[in-house]
Structure formats: structure tokens, C-alpha cells
Amino acid sequence: MLVRTGLKFCGKEERNKIQVNLLDREKLRAFLEEKVRTLRWNVIRMIGEAGSGHPGGSLSAADIVATLYFHHMRHRPEDPKWPDRDRFVLSKGHACPLLYAALAECGYFPVDILWTLRKLGSILQGHPDMKKVSGVEISTGALAHGFAAATGMALAGKMDARDYHVYVLIGDGESQEGEVWETAMFASHYKLDNLVAILDYNGLQIDGPVSEVMEIQPIADKWSAFGWRVLEVNGHNVLDIVDTLVEADKTKGKPCIIIAHTLKGKGVSFMEGGVEWHGKAPSKEQMEKALRELEKDG
């Protein structure tokens, strides 16, 4: 089977032709928002029980990752190496609790394994490990390396005449890395229109606001100048994300980047907009408070 969505799955070509009526879109919104809530709940519990991890950037990207895994991408949890699967690469590898939560919810491995995050002997390391975790396309951690690897996957797809897309999630702090721009130039040169980068633009990195550490603006103009198609989206509106991903897939002759405007720590009141939650685990009391908030939202 293809990924379970709770709704009828359409292949990529069919999905792009179908005009979803308002009722179906509201069902889709409710379905995806519930998945987002589940991913955020699991992220908080994982990091809280581990006493270590990166909640801020995991929470900010939850709507994006949920939309990819539970609606947009073609993938088979029971056949993770299916050659025609769409690929997802988490270049900002420190946000791996979110990736683990999505993979478990899809059925790549049992959900109970999530609570072993960062513990001795666990398959769930502090950064994704492709040799240990089913569904992880490439081990990532050093920022920008995942973006480069995703671009290689897209080039391989072109060379092998495979009909898949590669989606890669990068961070705004990560966008200060030179390798990001070398990779952007490479992808444009080879006209990799099967590559979609998504920038989780939450405005904060470990040392403070991105604008103060090293400004990346005008970010849309920079990507455009490097030969990419640029789209922007509210990174917390699942239907807008759905529509923007479909539009990105229509891009021909060049790669596409989606600049997703997000909020660090989204979904947990005391974490939202707080730079200190980039790489800090909640205490037991804070974890319980956050979980109650997320349960109430559901």
C-alpha cells in the first residue's frame, strides 16, 4: 500500500488534476491538523523523557512534515526502499524527533520506540541514522550536508528516468552555510525540477535571532538569483502547504524552494518564539504542561 492517510490516496498525476471540493478540503484540514497535533505531542514526550533534544525547530516544522508524509508524498512504509518513492531529507538533522514521530506514525517502526530517544542502545540517535532507522534516506547532522545529498538524489532520479520528487527541509540558520549556496548553484545548473527545498523560516537559531547572528535577507531574491523558482507559504496552514507543494511539483526546468514562515516552538505556549528552546529539553513539569496544552488543542 501507499502511505495511509485516512482519505483516498491519489497518485501524483491524478492529484494534480483533481479539484477537491470544499467539504473534502475541510476533511483534509481536520485530518492533517490532527496528525500535526499528534506529531507535536510525541515530539514533546520524546524529548522530555530523553532529557535532551531540540524541541523548537521540531515543533515549527510539524505542519510541513505532516503534510508531506500523510498527504503529499508517495511512499510505502512496508517497502521503504521502493525505487519510485518520493524522498524526504531532513537537512536540519537536529530536528530528528519530528522525523522519527512522522515515521512511527506512518508505520515504519513501532510508536513505542519513540520513548527510547537518545537512550543507550536505541536506534533513535540525536541525529538521523540511515543505517538504524527505517525510512531515513540519509544520515544528517552537519548542516547543509543533507541538502547536498538530496540534490544528488534528485540528479540520480533524472539520470535513471525515475518519476519521483525529492523534498528537503532546511533551516534559516543553516542557510548561512556556504554549502547551501554551492548546492543551490549545482541544482540550478542541472535543472533539477524534481527537487523541492523547504525553508523552515522561524527566525531563530541557537545563538539568537537569525537577523542578528547573520542576516539572510533578502532570502527570496537570493534564491531567485541562483536560478530557483521561489514560493512562500504560511508554514502553519496545512491547506496552504498542500496547495504550495502541488504548485512546486509543477515547476519545470529549475528547482523550487518554498519559504515557509513559521514560529519556533509552535503549539506550546511557553516555547513559542523562545530562542532558549532551540536545544533545551523541558523539565518533567514543563513536559506535562505542554502535553496538556496539545491534548486540549485536539
Which residue reads 533539477 in cell numbers? 192
Whole-angstrom distance, CA of residue 95 vs CA of residue 127: 8
E strands present in 192-255: 195-201, 204-205, 208-209, 229-234
Whether 1 is covered by a domain: the verdict is no
Q: Which of 219, 203, 209, 212 is nearest to 266 (CA)?
A: 203
Whether 135 is covered by a domain: the verdict is yes
Whether 9 is covered by a domain: the verdict is no
Which strand (E) or helix (H) includes residue 29? helix 22-50
Whether 46 is covered by a domain: the verdict is yes
DSSP-assigned letters across all residues of 139-188: ---STTHHHHHHHHHHHHHHHTT----EEEEEETTGGGSHHHHHHHHHHH
Whether 128 is covered by a domain: the verdict is yes
Q: Can you give the residue range of the structural domain that contains 186? A: 21-297
CATH code of the domain containing 71? 3.40.50.970
**pTM exceeds 0.85 for this model:** yes
pLDDT in tens, the chain (298 residues): 344 343 333 344 434 433 445 569 999 999 999 999 999 999 999 999 999 999 999 999 999 999 999 999 999 999 999 999 999 999 999 999 999 999 999 999 999 999 999 999 999 999 999 999 999 999 999 999 999 999 999 999 999 999 999 999 999 999 999 999 999 999 999 999 999 999 999 999 999 999 999 999 999 999 999 999 999 999 999 999 999 999 999 999 999 999 999 999 999 999 999 999 999 999 999 999 999 999 976 5
Radius of gyration of the chain (CA): 18
Whether 8 is covered by a domain: the verdict is no
Whether 101 is covered by a domain: the verdict is yes
Whether 16 is covered by a domain: the verdict is no
Total of domains in the chain: 1
